[in-house]
Amino acid sequence: MSDLPSTPPWRRQAACKGLDPTIFYPSDDDDECLDAKAVCAQCPVVDLCLEHALGVREKEGIWGGCTERERRRIIRQRRRSA
């Protein structure tokens, strides 16, 4: 992740900063996402990352420790409880 002027400040603290971004875009949601999820599990800003992904409806990749399928499930659950 680069520190562009439009980059949210929380990204400077992200555990994924400086890592190869390809691990966060696996071709298989189930098996290949484990490395990315392990990084997210150690991240101090994982909740902010997830909320960002949910807010902008990220369609690809692992964000906040969740796959795109998991993020869709969270959005559906939130709609039901609202």
Number of structural domains the chain divides into = 1
Burial of residue 77 (CB within 10 Å: 0-12, 13-18, 19+) is exposed
- Does residue 45 fall inside a structural domain? yes
The predicted-structure confidence for 52-62, as pLDDT tens digits, reads as follows 999 999 999 99
Cα angle 47, 62, 64; round to 5: 5
Residue 77 belongs to what domain range?
9-81
The string of pLDDT tens digits covering residues 19-48 is 999 999 988 667 789 999 999 999 999 999
Contact 68, 29 (CB under 8 A): yes
Query: Cβ(17)–Cβ(1) under 8 Å?
Result: yes
**In 1-43, which ranges are continuous DSSP H helix?**
34-41
Residue 4 lies in a domain: no
Residue 2 lies in a domain: no
CB atoms inside a 10 Å sphere around CB 68:
17
